[in-house]
Amino acid sequence: MSEMTKKEAYRRIDELRKTLTHHAKLYYVYDSPEISDFEYDRLYAELLKLESENPEYSDPSSPTMRVGGAPLDKFEKVVHSVRMNSLTDVFSFDELREFYDRTDAAAGRLTYSVEPKIDGLSVALRYENGIFVQGATRGDGTTGEDVTMNLRTIGSIPLRLSEPLTLTVRGEVYMPHSSFEAINAEREKHGQALMANPRNAAAGSLRQLDPRIAAERGLDIFIFNLQEGNIYSPESGRVPVSHTETLDRLGELGFKVLEMRKALSDFESIKNHIQYISDMRDSLPYDIDGAVIKVDSLDIRTKLGEGTNTPKWAVAYKYPPECKQTKLTDITVAVGRTGVLTPTAVLSPVRLAGTTVKSATLHNLDYIRERGIMIGDTVSVQKAGDIIPEIVCAHPDKRDGSEREFFMPEICPSCGEPVFREDGEAAVRCTNALCPAQLSRSIEHFCSKNAMNIDGLGPRIIDLLLGQKLISCVADIYTLTADMLEPLDRMGKKSAANLIASIEKSKSAGLERLIYALGIRNVGEVAGAALAARFGTLDTLMNATVDEICGIEDFGLITAECVVNFFSHPQNKELCRRLKALGIKTDSTAEPKGNRFEGLTFVLTGTLPTMSRDEAGEMIKKLGGKVSGSVSKKTSYVVAGEAAGSKLTKANELGITVIDEEALLKMCEE
């Protein structure tokens, strides 16, 4: 290629980059595209080709850099130059009034910016001379994780600003409802567990070690603060005087800034706008969980100052959990892996916390009777922890006489065998150990993430395998081959190979997970780990006595009898023998690291900066500690990450010591 051709190539590359950046901004930031997706893709393909042919013209701010690079081994830690504080929460207008009066008394009549609180994951974006160079999660406020490669895949984040400025901004990464629904539809099609809500999905997507996965998740971001630097060029001599001016200017520079924000002074006007944002909640394409009220003047913010963990110039007004009324059209009964019959409410679809809710568990007949629920009732529904749909109450005043009382069936809806209810128990159980529903659910439990963790073996595939008589118990899973799986509906060669690889990997899960996977009544993850630590091998556990098991701390007679009874059945002994013969690891994988946490109980809540809660829990257990799912007076420490919820609140109420991940790691190293 001649020198002239090289110059032409450079000019065309530069032209394409500017054109694509312009159209990406119109599409992602302003939602007003000027060209079709087809035309954009054509221009993008041309640029990609020219860049590959001319690598010397590589530019990290090119639109082609959004596709994601090679997978990472881990996330590097980033120390924030400006601490990313959280906000003080208020839950009533009376509490908000206290904040309003306090700030006005300290600094005179003030103007406040009132804006929606996006329910996502907070990040900091660093720009040097207008180029996006680093993005990090909030973490504990002081130290976060470097997720630059994943953030590059978000179309609304400018890789190059319209001016060569050096600054850091803070934003909230979220998953739009459309992306969330598309992902869950795809996961359901492949028999995978559905994501709980858009917020958790966004957090999980941003922490993918493979940027290409993050790129597929359809994440978006709103920018809501300038952390450091100036939004104007040094030559101009200008500095922003207000938060409103700052966000307006950041919008001019190419950022997607918060919508529905208003600068208001009067308390009643502030209340009205908070209510307006709440009223708009259902129509928004993303989730919000409150409104943020900030002093607008930057000088007065400095005067008011910062608290230990929260600024004195801002609060977050938290909306109560969404609670909506809908029709309970029917009550169905499902059979679980232990034979328990569980009634489930069939609901007229209603949108709650980012998902469409069509059903809710009713637990048992006592639960239904206590709440006076009838088939055909209008009921109020909310999501516990924004995850699990629950019926709060029925509305008898809205009955028209067509409603009818619900009764538990006398025979199992799956196998037709009689059911029974033990004295003192709320649960109704199927008596048939060979009940097809129990078999399907027990296999599903065996394969679940916290059990043997066989990725890709979800309910749909399990039912297919059972229907084709390829499996009849969990041991049969380990006799499957790719050739047996490929003919199955929507499986194919690659999916079959991936599933076989996942099955093979699960063989090394260890005794802790295997005990839990077996589905022994009253034995959860914590109990499974304790049994593995005490007995070491499956053979030893199978021969354990009630007294020996009762000797384990916090093990009672009922749980001990359940364990002994399970292994007393010949079919269960045979199952364990087969699993061992098929290569499943039946001894403990735990690596004793001392007992410095002996006698201590930890509760994990929120998103931790560098590890999952499961990973943190395993670390605690290896050091002799216990991990509980609920906060009580017996709790020693609560380990709180980002977006810690009700568990953190309860810990503060009870005076339980709250630590972050960094403090936990220091305790582990001592």
Q: How many residues does the chain have?
A: 670
Residue where one domain finishes, among candidates 525, 549, 581: 581
pLDDT band for position 1 (cuts 50, 70, 90): very low
CA end-to-end distance (rounded Å), the chain: 63
Is 303 domain-assigned?
yes
What pLDDT score was predicted for residue 2?
Answer: 47
Q: Are residues 301 and 329 in the same domain?
A: no
Q: What is the residue type of 410? A: E
Q: What CATH number corresponds to the domain at position 492? A: 1.10.150.20
Look at 65-74, 351-360, 462-471, 614-623 and tell me which has the smallest mean pLDDT: 65-74
Task: Give me the domain span that covers residue 386.
Answer: 323-428
Within 310-420, residue ranges assigned H as helices are 365-370
- Average of per-residue pLDDT values in the chain: 87
Q: Are residues 312 and 327 in the same domain?
A: no
Q: Is 369 helix (H, G, I), strand (E, B) or coil?
A: helix
Which of 7, 77, 117, 621 is an active site residue? 117
Kindly state the average pLDDT of the residues 21-45: 72
Is 227 domain-assigned?
yes
pTM higher than 0.75 for the full model?
A: no
Q: Most confidently modeled of 33-42, 165-174, 348-357?
A: 165-174
Kindly state the average pLDDT of the residues 227-237: 93
Kindly state the average pLDDT of the residues 351-380: 90
C-alpha to C-alpha distance for 148 and 186, rounded to whole angstroms: 27
Residue where one domain finishes, among candidates 400, 428, 456: 428
What pLDDT score was predicted for residue 29?
Answer: 60
pLDDT tens string 497-522: 999 999 999 999 999 999 999 989 88
Q: Are residues 473 and 457 in the same domain?
A: yes
Look at 84-98, 483-497, 519-533, 638-652 and tell me which has the smallest mean pLDDT: 638-652
Angle, vertex CA 437, rays to CA 577 and CA 542, nearest 5: 25
Q: Are residues 127 and 186 in the same domain?
A: yes
Q: Are residues 415 and 474 in the same domain?
A: no
What pLDDT score was predicted for residue 594?
Answer: 60
Q: Are residues 226 and 305 in the same domain?
A: yes
Is 618 domain-assigned?
yes
What pLDDT score was predicted for residue 403?
Answer: 95
Is 444 domain-assigned?
yes
Q: What is the residue type of 569? A: H
Q: Are residues 307 and 333 in the same domain?
A: no
Q: Are residues 345 and 385 in the same domain?
A: yes
Q: Are residues 314 and 332 in the same domain?
A: no
DSSP letter string, 563-619: HHHHHHSHHHHHHHHHHHHTT---B--------TTTT-EEEEESB-SSS-HHHHHHH
What pLDDT score was predicted for residue 30?
Answer: 61
SS3 assignment for 284-336 = CCCCEEEEEEEECEHHHHHHHCECCCCECCEEEEECCCCEEEEEEEEEEEEEC
Q: Are residues 270 and 327 in the same domain?
A: no
C-alpha to C-alpha distance for 510 and 542, rounded to whole angstroms: 16
What phi, psi does 112 have (nearest 5°)? Answer: -120, 140
Distances from the Cα of 108 to the Cαs of 92, 245, 316, 401, in angstroms?
A: 23, 21, 21, 60
C-alpha to C-alpha distance for 661 and 482, rounded to whole angstroms: 42
Told to judge if 494 belongs to the known catalytic residues of this protein, a careful annotator would answer: no
pLDDT tens string 53-84: 888 887 777 877 765 455 556 788 889 999 89
Rg, the chain, Cα only? 28
pLDDT tens string 126-138: 999 999 999 999 8
Q: Are residues 563 and 624 in the same domain?
A: no
Is 80 domain-assigned?
no
Which residue is it, tokens 């084709």? 468
